[in-house]
Structure 1
Amino acid sequence: MKLQLALDRMTIANAIELTKKVEDSIDWVEVGTSLIKEYGMKSVKELKQAFPNKVIVADIKTIDNARYEFEMAFKAGADVATVMGVSPIVTIEVCLEVANRYNKLVMVDLLNTSEEQVRELRKYNQAIFCAHVSKDEQEEAGAQNLGTKNGSLLTDGSLQLAAAGGITMDSLESLRKTLNPAVVIVGSAITKASNPSEAAGKFKQAIQMGE
């Protein structure tokens, strides 16, 4: 299980500074959607330059204009880019084609996808599929249903899974039992901790103990 650090709602400089504090404990670095919206591909480029040996995830949440957006992300240094699972199938296929050409990876964000859509997406098993509880659901509704929505369609072992959305140390073990993702994406439980380095270390230790 890889630990992906989600960096959102901060400056590029703060993102780099925070990542330096936790880099020994994390595997993947996510340049969050808010960073990319505020600073553009400069955020992806600077994070990759600062951490060339880390997998950099550009959370661009593409839903259209896939070729342009994915080429832009990969040229900036991203190793993984995200596309929304509710996108038209042609968009998903373009993302995969571009990623294959650049020898990069696609992460399909399953936020708000139906069972029917997930069934159709399963054939693209070269992608990583991200079970995702949105920020609005976390903040407004207190939702914590990562392991339930579409769970039976995701846990047969044939898909590469990631999980995101308000993950804490307390929820990590239940998440392992329900989805057992290959990538666990943690944001505020590390970035807003009083001691981010210590928090990241605890996540990494818990992940390693469960393997």
Structure 2
Amino acid sequence: MGIFMLKFGEGVLGRDITAIVNVVLGKGETIDTVFTNALTRVPTPILANLRDNLIVKPLTLVVPRNTLNSDIQCNLLHGPIQYGVAKAVVDLDLDGDLKLIVTVSVPDVPYTTLNKRKLFQYYYGATRLAISRALNDYPSKEKIKREKYRALHPLVGFRDIRLERPPYLQVALDVPSMENVEYVLESLPPSDRIIVEAGTPLIKKYGIEVVERIREIYDGFIVADLKTLDTGRVEVRMAFESTANAVVLSGTAPRETILKGIHECERCGIMSYLDTINVRDPFGLYNSLELKPDVLLLHRAIDEEEKVPMKEYRDVKRREKLLLGIAGGVTLENIEKLKNRYHIIVVGRGITKSRDPGRVARAIVNKLGDDIDQYRLYLEEDEDVPIR
């Protein structure tokens, strides 16, 4: 049996002009077939060479990712881009039995000495980077898991937060006034530890579309507090289509409604909350469910706060894959105690009725820990340095 290897890598460098390089490299029948098929396609890719009649070894195919619409793009591909790729392959002194397929993006920029130098330099560096990463199986699975909540795609501008770094402050917009909502949202500090809740009274007044109005002002993790009691699938889908990141189901709903709601959340890829307001045994309910919610919210109703004390739950964080939330009776004074026992701390009127909502929210967030951005790496400083 012959030797078989197939590896993949990516390198992106440059700022004003960006070099995007994807590499497939390997040895054996598979890469031979892919290489031959790519070489004979139309429009025809080009072999990397240092000059006419001097192709590099190992054999390297340069494939444009985009359609070339001008003579300038053709000249850039056949000139500085091809040369940058070829020079990188030669300088890395790779195993001659390998074959490489390098896809490149070809910009449409003025054909100047400066741009040609930039493209050569960027593609030389990006090709070296992509090949080295392919050979070293970069990134590792651990790296991807570590970065998935911090990654900020340059053409998207926001992160998809999945509540993987608790504790969080959930700001409950529990007043049916859009003017007040806008005031609170605009005052909130930018923090990865803040969740915004479209409260039940707000949704009842403005409809589920209020989630979209909130997102236009504060594009973070938004919970739709529907407290669903019936038609679990329908209400979850409505919230999903309004861009909610999570939906709150009521623990007093029929069992089938809860299960259908959780199942629909899983199908749509959003998180499920189970609100246990007026539920005597929240953990008994949780344990009895065949499908588990992502968040179990221990909730004391506003109407009973004066008469019913906040319940104490022992060892509440010792439950695998369950996020625990607490709502009702949360104050700035008891945040230190609660943050060590709960993953999500819900505050409503303490913020929304404050003269300075932003100050109160920041004071709470400061007690919860660092923001993700404080530990984001510039470029890839954690990429391992190979020992030669």
Q: TM-score range with shorter-chain normalisation? A: 0.7 to 0.9
Provide, for residues 114-137 of structure 1, a one-character-per-residue CA deviation record: whole Å limited to 9, x for no partner. Answer: 32434314x544521001010111
- Decide whether aligned partners of structure 1 residues 40 and 95 sit closer, same or farther in structure 2, where only a CA change above 3 A counts: same
What is the CA–CA distance in structure 2 between the aligned matches of 1:33 and 1:153, rounded to whole Å? 30
Letter in 1 for 2:190: D
1:133 to 275, 278, 300: 300
3-state SS of the aligned residue for 2:209?
helix
What is the CA–CA distance in structure 2 between the aligned matches of 1:119 and 1:99, rounded to whole Å? 19
The CA deviation at 1:64 is: 0.9
Q: Which has the higher contact order (CA 8 A, sep 6+)?
A: 1
- Which residue matches 2:285? 117
- Decide whether aligned partners of structure 1 residues 77 and 23 sit closer, same or farther in structure 2, where only a CA change above 3 A counts: farther
What is the CA–CA distance in structure 1 between the aligned matches of 2:329 and 2:170, rounded to whole Å? 13
Cα contact 1:165–1:185 (8 A) shared by 2:
yes
Provide, for residues 4-50 of structure 1, a one-character-per-residue CA deviation record: whole Å limited to 9, x for no partner. Answer: 11001142232122111014245210000010011111211211232
User: Normalised by the size of structure 2, how large is the TM-score?
Assistant: 0.49
The CA deviation at 1:185 is: 0.8
Question: Is residue 46 of structure 1 aligned with residue 213 of structure 2?
Answer: yes
Question: Is residue 164 of structure 1 aligned with residue 303 of structure 2?
Answer: no
The CA deviation at 1:196 is: 1.2
What is the CA–CA distance in structure 2 between the aligned matches of 1:136 and 1:62, rounded to whole Å? 19
**Greater helix content:** 1
Cα contact 2:194–2:365 (8 A) shared by 1:
no
- Decide whether aligned partners of structure 1 residues 68 and 126 sit closer, same or farther in structure 2, where only a CA change above 3 A counts: closer
What is the CA–CA distance in structure 1 between the aligned matches of 2:259 and 2:315, rounded to whole Å? 20
Question: Is residue 188 of structure 1 aligned with residue 349 of structure 2?
Answer: yes
- Work out which of the two has the higher radius of gyration on C-alpha atoms and give 1 or 2: 2
Which structure 2 residue ranges, 5 or more long, are not aligned?
Answer: 1-166, 371-388
User: Normalised by the size of structure 1, how large is the TM-score?
Assistant: 0.86
The CA deviation at 1:167 is: 0.8
Provide, for residues 74-94 of structure 1, a one-character-per-residue CA deviation record: whole Å limited to 9, x for no partner. Answer: 111111010011222211111
- Calculate the aligned-residue CA RMSD, in Å: 2.0
- Which residue matches 2:203? 36
Provide, for residues 129-164 of structure 1, a one-character-per-residue CA deviation record: whole Å limited to 9, x for no partner. Answer: 0010101111x42x3324x2xx24844232211111
- Percent identity, please: 28
- Structure 1 window deviating more from structure 2 (60-69 vs 21-30): it is 21-30
Which structure 1 residue ranges, 5 or more long, are not aligned?
Answer: none
Map residues 1-211 of structure 1 onto 2, 5 A cutoff: 1-25=167-191, 27-52=194-219, 54-115=220-281, 116-121=284-289, 124-138=291-305, 140-141=306-307, 143-146=308-311, 148=312, 151-152=313-314, 154-158=316-320, 159-177=322-340, 180-208=341-369
Cα contact 1:86–1:117 (8 A) shared by 2:
no
